[in-house]
Amino acid sequence: MTTLTILSATWSERPVTMRLPFQFGSTEVRETAEAHARVEIEVNGTRVTGRSAQLMVPRWFNKSAEMSNADTIDELRAVVDSAVAGAPGLRGTALDVTRALRDGLDRALPQTPPLARCFGPALVEMAVIDAICTALRLPFWKAAREDVFGLVSGCPNDLLPADLSRSLDSISAPKALVLRHTVGFDAPLRQADVGQDRPGDGRPVSLDEVIEETGVSAFKIKLKGGPDADHRRLCDIAGLLDKGGDYAVTLDANEQYAPRDFEAFLSALAKDATLKRFFSAVRFVEQPFPREIALTAPVEASLPLIIDESDDTEDAFARALALGWSGTSIKSCKGVLRALINKARAEVAGAILSGEDLTCQPGICWLQDAAMMSACGVRDVERNGHHFAGGMQGAPEEERAMLLERHDDILMQDRNGVALRIAGGSVEIGSLARPGFGC
- Rounded Cα distance between 408 and 432, Å, is 11
Whose CA is closest to 176, among 412, 383, 399, 385? 383
- Rounded Cα distance between 99 and 122, Å, is 10
If phi over 0 gives left and psi between -120 and 50 gives alpha, with beta otherwise, what is residue 362? beta
List pLDDT tens digits, range 121-133: 999 999 999 999 9
156: confidence class by pLDDT, cuts 50, 70, 90: very high
Mean pLDDT of 364-381: 97
Contacts of residue 397, defined as CB under 8 A and 6 or more positions apart, other chains included, come to: none
**Does 359 score more than 90 pLDDT?**
no
List pLDDT tens digits, range 48-67: 999 999 999 998 899 888 89
Mean pLDDT of 25-31: 78
- Rounded Cα distance between 103 and 110, Å, is 10
Which residues sit opposite 10 in a β-bridge?
A: 38
List pLDDT tens digits, range 306-324: 999 999 999 999 999 999 9
Mean pLDDT of 238-263: 95
**Does 25 score more than 80 pLDDT?**
no
List pLDDT tens digits, range 385-438: 888 887 898 999 999 999 999 999 999 998 888 999 999 999 999 999 999 998
Helical (H) or strand (E) element with 359: none
269: confidence class by pLDDT, cuts 50, 70, 90: very high
pLDDT of res. 29: 84
pLDDT of res. 211: 97
- Rounded Cα distance between 183 and 390, Å, is 17
Where helices occur in 64-185 by DSSP H, the ranges are 69-86, 94-108, 114-136, 140-145, 161-169
- Rounded Cα distance between 368 and 53, Å, is 8
pLDDT of res. 416: 81
CA geometry: angle at 98 spanning 93 and 102, to 5°?
150
pLDDT of res. 202: 87
- Do residues 66 and 75 touch, judged by C-beta distance below 8 A? no
- Average pLDDT over the chain, rounded to an integer: 95
Contacts of residue 83, defined as CB under 8 A and 6 or more positions apart, other chains included, come to: 9, 101, 104, 105, 120, 121, 123, 124
**Does 182 score more than 80 pLDDT?**
yes
- Rounded Cα distance between 237 and 272, Å, is 14
Average the pLDDT over each of 153-157, 228-232, 384-388 and give the range with the smallest value.
Answer: 384-388
> What pTM was computed for the model?
0.95
How close are the terminal C-alpha atoms of the chain, in Å? 22
Contacts of residue 385, defined as CB under 8 A and 6 or more positions apart, other chains included, come to: 55, 357, 358, 359, 360, 361, 362, 366
Mean pLDDT of 106-110: 96
Mean pLDDT of 10-31: 86
Total Cβ atoms within 10 A of residue 213:
11
Mean pLDDT of 149-169: 98
**Does 376 score more than 80 pLDDT?**
yes
Distances (CA, A) of 262 to 189, 233, 308, 351: 24, 16, 17, 21
Contacts of residue 436, defined as CB under 8 A and 6 or more positions apart, other chains included, come to: 130, 133, 134, 139, 140
296 burial level (CB within 10 Å; 0-12, 13-18, 19+): exposed
pLDDT of res. 24: 66
**Does 90 score more than 90 pLDDT?**
yes
Where helices occur in 146-201 by DSSP H, the ranges are 161-169
Total Cβ atoms within 10 A of residue 267:
12
Count, residues in the chain: 439
**Does 298 score more than 70 pLDDT?**
yes
